[in-house]
Amino acid sequence: MIVLGIETSCDECSVAVVEDGTKILSNVIATQSDQHAAYSGVVPEIASRTHTEWIMGVYREALERSGKTRVEIDGIAVTCRPGLSGSLVVGLSFAKGLSLALGVPFVGVDHILAHLYAVQLENAVPYPFLGVLVSGGHTMLAVVKSYDDVEVLGTTIDDACGEAFDKIAKQFDMGYPGGSAIDSLARRGAADAYSFPKPSLHKGDHRYDVSYSGLKTAVVHHLEKYLNAGFEATRENIAAAFEKTAVEILMTRVERAVRDFRFERVVAGGGVAANTYFRSRMLELTGRTGAAVFFPSLKLCTDNAAMVAGIGYHYLREQKHSPDTLDVSARVAVFRGRE
């Protein structure tokens, strides 16, 4: 089955063609970074207008690169939540039009589930596993039982992990997009230059939750207070120490969940899963707990339509089509295990 995927939830305009849920025939990702760089953040109005301008071109290129013709498309998968409403509407409306024109069904998919599926495009990781979703909008630890059956263990109680990277990068003019800018600066910095505080959410309901607002406040407002003797307050050192603390906050919860539930497999997904230090710390988990660790390749960590087409295949195969009246939603779905 050939599925065309469409992803426009934020600032990546992407269309992909995937065969049988795993074989990527094309995955065109047009990033709007340049459009938003002057504002050091995504401007929703600019994002949706740019998607409107680009979507047809990106679709044509994805189809051409796939080596397929439009009559060979069996179904369409499109991100319909969560994300920026105006941006999601562009992708969904395009998917609906294409579905009518080609006479094939379409299905709206959840962006978070698509990130947790991304790894399957390269590695058939058996379910269940501990899913660690770390992106710009979301942070979530979950028992992933199938492509659409997820039980949430923990989330962030304030900022998302990637959001913290973006805010620190903006504050210190480190570059845009923030996460990858910090990643490269940190490689040249001393992670021990600062000792930033970490949240102590270890009891009851918050055992697997993370929090990033305290770290953000410490870095933005009280930087000097945490500088260790013998180190300088350079951007490289700030980036390295921030990155180390941000990843440690996450790893404490990940390791706790692996031990508590005796997970045999851990899968990461989302933009922050592209982070060099995070990847190296995740790989250490295997030695520490015995759990096997899997990541998507870098291109499949950040937003892309291949993961959308991949997960979409499973819905379409089971005839779980979306109704013509499907609308977008900016909000995160209520997954099981969550109030």
| Binding footprint of Zn ion on the chain (CB under 5 A) | 135, 303
Between strands 265-269 and 292-294, the pairing is parallel
Q: Which stretch binds ligand KG4 (CB under 6 A): 69-77, 117-125, 267-275, 310-318?
A: 267-275
With CB under 5 to 8 Å by kind, the binding choice for 21 among ligand KG4, Zn ion, none is none
Residue from 7, 110, 183, 236 in contact with ligand KG4 (CB under 6 A)? 183
Residue with Cβ nearer ligand KG4 (100 or 283): 283
How far separated are the first and last CA of the chain, in Å rounded?
Answer: 37
Is there a contact between 127 and 119 (Cβ–Cβ < 8 Å)? Answer: no
CA separation for the pair 9, 29 (Å, rounded): 13
Residue with Cβ nearer ligand KG4 (1 or 37): 37
Residue type for 139, please? T
135 binds ligand KG4 (CB under 6 A): yes
CA separation for the pair 165, 41 (Å, rounded): 12
Residue from 137, 154, 310, 312 in contact with ligand KG4 (CB under 6 A)? 137
178 binds ligand KG4 (CB under 6 A): yes
Residue with Cβ nearer ligand KG4 (279 or 338): 279
Residue with Cβ nearer ligand KG4 (31 or 289): 31
Residue from 21, 91, 154, 177 in contact with ligand KG4 (CB under 6 A)? 177
Provide the H-helix boundaries in the chain: 33-36, 44-66, 85-102, 111-117, 161-171, 178-186, 213-221, 235-261, 276-289, 298-301, 306-317
What's the min distance (Å) between Cβ of 74 and Zn ion? 25
Strands in 106-110's sheet, in edge-to-edge order, are 23-31, 12-19, 2-7, 75-81, 106-110
Residue with Cβ nearer Zn ion (66 or 87): 87
Write down the residue that tokens 């959840």 correspond to.
110
What's the min distance (Å) between Cβ of 267 and Zn ion? 15
All residues at 6 or more sequence positions from 93 whose CB lies less than 8 Å from its CB, including other chains: none
With CB under 5 to 8 Å by kind, the binding choice for 178 among ligand KG4, Zn ion, none is ligand KG4
Q: Point out which residues bind ligand KG4 (CB under 6 A).
A: 10, 135-137, 162-163, 165-166, 177-180, 183, 270-272, 274-275, 302-303
